[in-house]
Amino acid sequence: MQSKKFILKFVIFSLLNIAIMAALLLFFSGRNRDIKFKNWETESNLLVTGENEHYDLAILGTSRGRVFSRDSNHLTMESVLGKKVVNLSKGGGGGLMPAKIHLAHFYRRGNMADKIIYFVDPWIFFCPINNENNTFFLKDEPFEISILFDLILNRFPSQRIISYLQMIAVDDWKSISKYAAPNLDKLTLKAIDPVKLEEAREHYLGLYEYDKFEHYSKFISDINRLAKEHNSKIIYIMLPILMRDFPGAKEVDEKLKDIINKEIESYKNSDINTNNTFLYFNLIDEMQDRQLFYDHMHFNNKGVEYFTKTYLKPIL
């Protein structure tokens, strides 16, 4: 009898604590939604997108996608395209898992995009540091309880979850979300250095976990499903890199082609029109002019404008 009473008290106590914790998290969730920055003023996504906004184009990617909005590049891109654009790319190597988190939240807030461009990089299909072990993709984002649940459901490590909870204490969002290296994109790569290229190759090979490839690739299907559910067409683009035969690029190219073909095939006998709903372009060996880059991987402002005019606009 005593043991039953103890168990009952323990259950009630636990439920009360859970309820109190949930109430506190709900209280802090979304308290910074009134703060609104422009895409070129911040590295944050949540402080830009707001809610119930309609965009012609949304962009996903790593820092190689983010550079399209840093400094004045965002305004250049919108001017060239003649479209309203939101950039959800994350610097610090945001991979497929972070991209899914950000896109899901974008839609959850009632936002819409006619098209999504995902600038995919080979390493995000192989590296935990770009996915569940990424320490950067929420370091400049306000606390939202729905994102917390997404982290839990997508099995992010406890360290990532705890670090995100710490964002509750942040209040100086203008400072914390500001890009740390302004005007870097105004520089020009002085020379293509074979030694640095080989060092970069070895660096990535040291990070790659090839047994993770299939696991991370599944998030492409998750992202496709999100886009499909919200009537967004999605286009994958492998951006140019000043390095031939980049590690993993061939495997990613084949995987994306396979996934896109399967997506289209799955709707073959339905009434849904899949024309241009899922597209993929491999441009990794294009634009091998160092004057369009500030390092071996990132476009400078001239590169952003050139790529937007020469490739992005015709693709859209």
Which distant-in-sequence residues (6+ apart) come within 8 Å of 67 by Cβ?
73, 185, 298, 299, 304
Mean pLDDT in order along the chain per 10 residues (316 residues): 62 60 65 89 93 97 96 96 97 91 96 97 96 91 93 92 90 86 89 89 93 97 95 96 93 96 76 72 96 95 97 97
The predicted pLDDT at position 73 comes to 96
Q: In this structure, is residue 20 part of a structural domain? A: no
In a domain, 120, yes or no: yes
Provide the pLDDT for residue 94: 86
Stretch (H or E) spanning 307: helix 301-307
pLDDT of residue 6: 58
- Quick check: is 51 in a domain? yes
pLDDT at 180: 81
For residue 156, what are its two tokens?
A: 């992010």
pLDDT at residue 4 in the model: 67
Give the separation between CA 192 and CA 62, rounded to whole angstroms: 22
Q: Which residue carries 């002085």 as its tokens?
A: 190
pLDDT at position 263 is: 85
pLDDT at 93: 76
pLDDT at 9: 60
Question: Where in 72-111 does DSSP place strands (E)?
Answer: 85-87
Q: Which residue has the tokens 């919200």?
A: 230
CA nearest neighbour of 223 among 70, 59, 44, 39: 59
Helix (H) or strand (E) holding 26: helix 2-28
- Selection from 111, 172, 108, 162 nearest residue 140 by Cα: 172
- We report the CATH number of the domain holding residue 82 as 3.40.50.1110
- Position 229 in a domain: yes
Rounded distance, CA 296 to CA 194, Å?
Answer: 10
Answer whether residue 164 is part of any domain: no
H/E run at residue 28: helix 2-28
Of 186, 178, 130, 140, whose CA–CA distance to 298 is shortest?
186
Q: What is the extent of the structural domain holding 75?
A: 43-137+184-315
Count of domains in the chain?
1
Question: In 10 A of CB 92, how many CB atoms?
Answer: 17
pLDDT at 23: 63
Q: What's the predicted TM-score (pTM) here?
A: 0.91
d(CA 160, CA 155): 10
**What's residue 46's pLDDT?**
94
Q: In this structure, is residue 160 part of a structural domain?
A: no
Please give the backbone phi and psi of residue 237, each rounded to the nearest 5 degrees, phi first.
Answer: -130, 125
Could you tell me if residue 295 is left (phi over 0), alpha (psi between -120 and 50 degrees) or otherwise beta?
A: beta
**177 part of a folded domain:** no
Does residue 131 lie within any of the structural domains? yes
Other beta carbons within 10 Å of 131: 25
pLDDT at 123: 96
Q: What is the CA radius of gyration of the chain?
A: 21
- Report CA-CA distances (Å) from 228 to 264, 272, 274: 12, 11, 10
**Closest to 258 measured CA to CA, from 223, 296, 220:** 220
The number of residues making up the chain comes to 316
